[in-house]
Amino acid sequence: MSLPSEMPEAGAREAPARGGFAVVPCVDVQGGRAVRLTEGDPTRETVYYPDPVAAGGHWLSLGARELHVVDLDAALGAGDNRGVIEDLAALAAQRGARVEVGGGVRSLAAADAWLARVQRVVLGTVAVTDPALVGRLVERYGPERIVVSVDARDGRVAVRGWVETSAVEATELARRMDEIGVRELIYTDVSRDGTLQGVDPEPVARVREAFPHRLIAGGGVAVDADLDLYERLGLDGAIVGRALYEGTVRYPRAP
């Protein structure tokens, strides 16, 4: 399904927020379903919606102005969910909301294809393996449409669907991305993602110190107090999955 000719602008986030802090619902897609993984393990999935379009529609009905969508199969090199994600993007566009897509975007062609359909792409592995490509995409589309995801386990960046851990430190990658013109990072604590264990503030604070621009975080959010902690650390928002689906975090946030 193609998007309407007039897509929402790809500027600043407008998800329901308090004090400028954005909470962005996450729709992870594996095997055509909306799921959440525990610590990024594809064998430890919880299915929340059999139809990802319905999952996105739920958050849009509650006032979401942006959705963070991840194609887990593409990230793992096990196929893709392009069709259903395009349908979800079309629905979001009809509601005046934006979509950013990540997972397996590791080439210029892949980024070009998604950016013809959604407002932003999220790059992960290529930030480590081919930072020059990230720089080319920033030059081609502008920093408002290119986001880099720094997904870390014990301080080092996880790549290729989080199945490999590189030797690159998360803070080092954050500084490199700043140098090549990236102006938004998503930091994810892989060891806490999907666990509802709560936020570990120390690695988040280190990335915040290393990257002076827009910083969003995720991984381990369990209750509203975790979002308050992110705010105190100076973050601009959070991407939240399981805590929203299971209702341990209110959405939209109370003013």
Question: How far is the C-alpha of 23 from the C-alpha of 163, rounded, in Å?
Answer: 27
Side chain identity at residue 43, one-letter code:
T
- Find all residues with CB under 8 Å of 253, minimum gap 6, and list them: 16, 17, 18, 23, 224, 227
Residue 250: φ, ψ to 5°:
-75, 145
For residue 112, the surrounding DSSP H or E stretch is helix 108-115
Q: Would residue 228 show up in a list of annotated catalytic residues for this protein? A: no
Closest Cα partner for 78 from 137, 160, 201? Answer: 160
> Per residue in 105-137, is it b (16+ CB within 10 Å) or e — as a string?
bbeeebbeebbebbbbbbbbbbbbeebebbbeb
Question: How far is the C-alpha of 78 from the C-alpha of 198, rounded, in Å?
Answer: 30
Question: How far is the C-alpha of 170 from the C-alpha of 255, rounded, in Å?
Answer: 33
CB atoms within 10 A of CB 139: 12
Closest Cα partner for 111 from 127, 134, 77? Answer: 134
CB atoms within 10 A of CB 140: 13
Marked catalytic residue, from 151, 189, 193, 226 = 151
Q: Would residue 226 show up in a list of annotated catalytic residues for this protein? A: no
Chain-centroid distance, C-alpha 3: 21
Marked catalytic residue, from 28, 71, 193, 226 = 28
Q: Which sequence positions are flagged as catalytic?
A: 28, 151
